[in-house]
A and B are shown apart, each in its own frame.
Chain A
Amino acid sequence: MMISGVTKRISAIKFAQLSPDEIRKMSATKIITADTYDDDGFPIDMGLMDPHLGVIEPGLRCKTCGKKVDECPGHFGHIDLAMPVIHVGYVKEIKKLLQSTCRSCGKLLLTGEQAAEYLKQRDRMEELGGDTLDTATVHKEAAKDAASRTTCPHCTTVQLKITLDKPTTFREEGHKLTPKEVRERLERIPNEDMIALGMDPNVSRPEWMILTALPVPPVTVRPSITLESGDRSEDDVTHKLVDVLRINQRLRENRDAGAPQLIVEDLWELLQYHVTTYFDNQTSGIPPARHRSGRPLKTLVQRLKGKEGRFRSNLSGKRVNFSARTVISPDPMLSINEVGVPEAAARELTVPIRVTEKNLAVAREMASRGPAPPGPIYKAGVNYVIRSDGRRIKITDKNAATVSEGVEAGYIVERHLMDGDIVLFNRQPSLHRMSIMAHEVRVMPHRTFRFNLCVCPPYNADFDGDEMNLHVLQSEEARAEAKVLMRVQEHILSPRFGGPVIGGIHDHITGAFLLTHEDSKFTREETLRIMEKIPLLDMPKAGTKVDGVDYWGGKQLFSLILPKDLHMTFKSSICQRCDECKKEACEHDSFVVIRGGELIAGTIDEKAIGAFKGRILDKLSRDYGPDTARLFIDRSTKMAIGAIMVRGFTTGIDDEDIPDQAKREIDDAMTQARMKVEEHVSAYRRGELEQMPGRSLEETLEVEIMKVLGKARDTAGQIAGRHLGMENSAVIMARCGARGSMLNLSQMAGAIGQQAVRGERLSRGYWNRTLPHFKKGDLGSEARGFIKNSYKSGLTPTEYFFHSMGGREGLVDTAVRTSRSGYMQRRLINALEDLKVMQDGSVRNTAGTIIQLEYGEDGIDPTRSVQGEAVDVDDIILSVLGDKGELIAKVREKGVVSYGIQDRDLLETPEEPEAEEEPEFDASGGEEG
């Protein structure tokens, strides 16, 4: 918990090679033998497990620094290579150096002026804010320029072409260069000439890229594990080092004994192979070194690279404490700000409380309850107590009493989660900032996390087995920050389009519809049922009296939860888009008028309280603030659920029942369409089809047929639709925006229609036909994937097959889309993660360079503006002058869509394209969980 006072800034990091001298100097011991342990199980001196390299066994002491396990960081050793070998990581640089320097004098193949010119360019680049990548390109150009020279400008030697035989063999006009020769050439390069090639002679020399000594990492880096049987199992890196040592030894012996050149060269190459795979076991061009079992070894590069590598899985991402994960389920009685946490999880997750004199009594009491307080009512206990000296004491039922007495000011008590604690709640994939939000804890029985259904859309969660994560904040600062910035109510408006992402879905919308549509009336008992779950609401006076019985209007009840000064006018989802709008007198009750917090006309549905579209939510959170908006959402959830439960609501396949007469009509329409298609086909065969401009004859036919069949499906839908009225549950859901669409319904009751792959009628399968049930070259409607049946009437075998073809395409598309967009997201985030908006409104990266002079080029935050303006003037006019303001607003005719202007308001606003329109094939529901 101690924070040191000194902060330092890293201005730059410089990478360089280790020189052979440095490798030997930092080495704790030279490694000469490939054996690790002797017969008694003790590590052999100067072997790979030499005790000078650090300790991994508890109780032993390091022979180099004398410290114990966890204190000793480990020490490097080294292997002296009998012959030099090339370091695979540097082949590209070595090639560049060989090609751009003279083969005899070693100088850069550029004149002094030319080199100076490149250096000047680099300096200019740096001055203008170029990064290391930019300067690297200048050096690369210099190297390329030099490599293109055929004679040395210094000693006029003719240069030979140097090629790289991947991965590590260099050739000069076909003649092989040994690493030794390469090293000699690199040694000849003068220090001055390296600068133009982008190397710093003060820290590194090119010949160091050829290894003569190999550092051996400390044993702590490659710990061996002792199996239950008592056998030792060594790390992959150790195995690889054994290989290197063994070959190194043989090479030395053979060379010293004066063995034939051929044998020495073979061994030399083998050593090169082992050193190469020691660094990177996935080098292309050579077979990976394998374990005895056939599994490829995991060597140095494999430890770092990729998703499971050190960087992505251990440094950028870590496992954390104080977190929990379980299945989620819904609870409309919770506020959107809350999350229900199971007791079992709450007893594991703790919050550290620093004990002071003020809270001493409370802390002692909590500690005395121990880790599992008894009783039916949940009470927070304590798992650990941390004393002032930093010692951590685990509390058990036995020691709870004694330990709690010892608690004093200065102690830290780790207490269980309690109602009201601030936690972070997250569902993967975390694609936007609303994927992690701060909630207030409500400890509850059972084993799932629970939250209000209105918060499903931002998390993109459903309850078919989804799991979510919860993180408990551990410091006061973190809690304060999360509460101010991350609370759910602060995220009702999305920064993507400035509208609400939190709002009603499914039954919530249906409930609101049933409550407010037309002249819905409720008896005293029903009214109480609707209102009983909402605290602090007084029963209003009855709206109407029929036959001496009091009735309360649905609109009257809904008005109870609206702020008293709210004025709004808009069209609801059920609007039929009549040619001439009758406004308040709308016969569908789809013209919403709210005056002074009273719902005067119109139906509350998706357009009013739905996620993504809810106009009331939008206005409340913008004009009245998140607190009011949250309160409204909480209450509207309870009210809508109350309303739907009073009336009762269900849907089944019989909702799509249509009379036999209608069925016959649909059949007739289908037959007519089929005949029409046949007419077109025969006209085409006779060559009488009139070609459309820009289309071939075949394409014209297809377009015509698609037109006919598309119309046929619509007709079927219309015929069916005539018998599906507003008394039908499925229609209610579709029209008020709760779930499903009229298209879905007409496919269930009318006809499914044409199936398509890649936007065309089905055509592939057998030779010149889709299935062997049809004649070759049949262009008719049935043969090309038209389904005249409905989901209800059932499909013929061929229709079923065609439907599966269309469905498959949808599934493949979604699979491809998710993987591709995931990768794109990753790259975007990596590129943009260090950007921030500065005080002056500019967007800059951590280096301070400008990305945008003004955020979004207009400096506007969509969640805090009205269509880009600071205030909605028309709305203010309307609320000040009431309906009289309409006239003024009309005169102004501003080019923006606002709450206030009625005529503007009523222009068709472009529909927000529903992102999550489910593929029709997915009728069975989710496949997760």
Chain B
Amino acid sequence: MPEHHLLSEKEAEKILKDLKLTKDQLPKIRISDPCIRALDAISGPVEEGMVVKIVRRSRTSGVSTSYRLVVRG
């Protein structure tokens, strides 16, 4: 399972600004996703509209970071 990190409102805003994106353009992840439920238990309450940072390691591409928006469902 790739690492999931919960971003604070401030961090999320900064990252969105850096990427020149708005929240609605981010890929999404459901709040019911097992990863988010685990994250909820580890780093405090996760709510709709929060941004999660995902760090993946792969044999071919090394380390890559992506961001997902937590949505209802």
Mark interface residues in A111-129 (1 if CB within 8 Å of B CB, else 0): 0000000000100110111
B residues 23-73 near A (Cβ < 8 Å) are 23-28, 48-49, 56, 58, 60-62, 64-67, 69, 71-73
Q: How far is the CA of A127 from the CA of B69 in the complex (A)?
A: 12
| Beta-carbon contact of A849 and B48 below 8 Å | no
| Beta-carbon contact of B25 and A128 below 8 Å | no
Residues of B within 8 A of A857 (CB): 56, 58, 61, 64, 66
| Beta-carbon contact of A868 and B61 below 8 Å | yes
| Beta-carbon contact of A129 and B26 below 8 Å | yes
| Beta-carbon contact of B67 and A853 below 8 Å | yes
A848 touching B25 in the complex, CB below 8 Å, given contacts A124-B49, A868-B61:
yes
A852 touching B71 in the complex, CB below 8 Å, given contacts A127-B24, A128-B24, A857-B61:
no
A residues 511-556 near B (Cβ < 8 Å) are none
A124 touching B72 in the complex, CB below 8 Å, given contacts A849-B26, A852-B66:
yes
The residue that A849 contacts in the complex, of B24, B60, B72, with Cβ under 8 A, is: B24
Q: How far is the CA of A796 from the CA of B62 in the complex (A)?
A: 57
Q: How far is the CA of A849 from the CA of B48 in the complex (A)?
A: 18
| Beta-carbon contact of A850 and B25 below 8 Å | yes
Most-contacted residue by chain B among A121, A853, A856, A868 (CB, 10 A): A853
| Beta-carbon contact of B49 and A854 below 8 Å | no
| Beta-carbon contact of A858 and B65 below 8 Å | no
| Beta-carbon contact of A860 and B61 below 8 Å | yes
A128 touching B64 in the complex, CB below 8 Å, given contacts A137-B73, A857-B58:
no
Q: How far is the CA of A125 from the CA of B73 in the complex (A)?
A: 10
* B70 to A, closest residue via Cβ: A128
* A862 to B, closest residue via Cβ: B60
A128 touching B27 in the complex, CB below 8 Å, given contacts A856-B61, A857-B64:
no
* B19 to A, closest residue via Cβ: A853
| Beta-carbon contact of A125 and B71 below 8 Å | yes
| Beta-carbon contact of B65 and A128 below 8 Å | no
Mark interface residues in A831-856 (1 if CB within 8 Å of B CB, else 0): 00000000010001000111111101
The residue that A130 contacts in the complex, of B21, B58, B71, with Cβ under 8 A, is: B71
| Beta-carbon contact of B25 and A129 below 8 Å | yes
Residues of B within 8 A of A127 (CB): 23-24
Residues of B within 8 A of A858 (CB): 60-62, 64
Residues of A within 8 A of B26 (CB): 129, 849-850
* B49 to A, closest residue via Cβ: A128
**Chain A interface residue count: which class?**
20 to 34
The number of residues on chain B lying at the interface, defined by a beta carbon within 8 Å of a beta carbon of chain A, is: 25
* A495 smallest CB distance to B (angstroms): 14
Q: How far is the CA of A286 from the CA of B59 in the complex (A)?
A: 56
* B61 to A, closest residue via Cβ: A858
* B65 smallest CB distance to A (angstroms): 7
* B27 to A, closest residue via Cβ: A850
* A853 to B, closest residue via Cβ: B66
| Beta-carbon contact of B27 and A849 below 8 Å | yes
Residues of A within 8 A of B49 (CB): 124, 128
Residues of B within 8 A of A137 (CB): 73
Most-contacted residue by chain A among B24, B49, B60, B67 (CB, 10 A): B24
Residues of A within 8 A of B21 (CB): 850
| Beta-carbon contact of B64 and A124 below 8 Å | no
Residues of A within 8 A of B22 (CB): 129
| Beta-carbon contact of A125 and B66 below 8 Å | no
* B64 smallest CB distance to A (angstroms): 4
Q: How far is the CA of A124 from the CA of B65 in the complex (A)?
A: 26
Q: How far is the CA of A121 from the CA of B72 in the complex (A)?
A: 9
| Beta-carbon contact of B48 and A128 below 8 Å | yes
* B29 smallest CB distance to A (angstroms): 11
| Beta-carbon contact of B56 and A129 below 8 Å | no
The residue that B72 contacts in the complex, of A125, A129, A852, with Cβ under 8 A, is: A125
* A848 to B, closest residue via Cβ: B25
Q: How far is the CA of A127 from the CA of B49 in the complex (A)?
A: 9
Q: How far is the CA of A848 from the CA of B62 in the complex (A)?
A: 26
A residues 855-876 near B (Cβ < 8 Å) are 856-858, 860, 868
Residues of B within 8 A of A848 (CB): 25
Q: How far is the CA of A121 from the CA of B20 in the complex (A)?
A: 26
| Beta-carbon contact of B66 and A128 below 8 Å | no
Residues of B within 8 A of A130 (CB): 24, 71
Q: How far is the CA of A844 from the CA of B49 in the complex (A)?
A: 20
* B28 smallest CB distance to A (angstroms): 7
A129 touching B65 in the complex, CB below 8 Å, given contacts A857-B56, A858-B60, A868-B60:
no
| Beta-carbon contact of B25 and A849 below 8 Å | yes
Q: How far is the CA of A852 from the CA of B67 in the complex (A)?
A: 9
Most-contacted residue by chain B among A128, A851, A852, A858 (CB, 10 A): A128
Q: How far is the CA of A394 from the CA of B57 in the complex (A)?
A: 65
* A842 to B, closest residue via Cβ: B19
| Beta-carbon contact of B65 and A853 below 8 Å | yes
The residue that A128 contacts in the complex, of B20, B56, B71, with Cβ under 8 A, is: B71
A854 touching B64 in the complex, CB below 8 Å, given contacts A129-B26, A849-B24, A849-B25:
yes
* A481 smallest CB distance to B (angstroms): 29
* A847 to B, closest residue via Cβ: B25
| Beta-carbon contact of A129 and B24 below 8 Å | yes
Mark interface residues in B3-31 (1 if CB within 8 Å of A CB, else 0): 00000000000000001111111111000
* B9 smallest CB distance to A (angstroms): 14
Q: How far is the CA of A856 from the CA of B56 in the complex (A)?
A: 12
* B58 to A, closest residue via Cβ: A857
Q: How far is the CA of A860 from the CA of B62 in the complex (A)?
A: 12
* B12 smallest CB distance to A (angstroms): 12
* B34 smallest CB distance to A (angstroms): 20
Q: How far is the CA of A854 from the CA of B64 in the complex (A)?
A: 9
| Beta-carbon contact of B58 and A129 below 8 Å | no
Most-contacted residue by chain A among B20, B49, B72 (CB, 10 A): B72
* A354 smallest CB distance to B (angstroms): 43
A residues 133-152 near B (Cβ < 8 Å) are 134, 137-138
A residues 694-734 near B (Cβ < 8 Å) are none
9 smallest A-B Cβ distances: which pairs?
A129-B24, A858-B61, A857-B64, A857-B61, A849-B25, A853-B66, A850-B25, A850-B27, A128-B24
Q: 5 A-B Cβ contacts within 8 A?
A: A129-B22, A850-B26, A852-B66, A857-B58, A858-B61
Residues of A whose CB lies within 8 Å of any CB of B are 121, 124-125, 127-130, 134, 137-138, 840, 844, 848-854, 856-858, 860, 868
With A128-B71, A853-B19 given, can you name 8 additional A-B contacts, CB distance below 8 Å? A124-B72, A128-B24, A128-B69, A130-B24, A138-B72, A849-B26, A850-B21, A850-B27
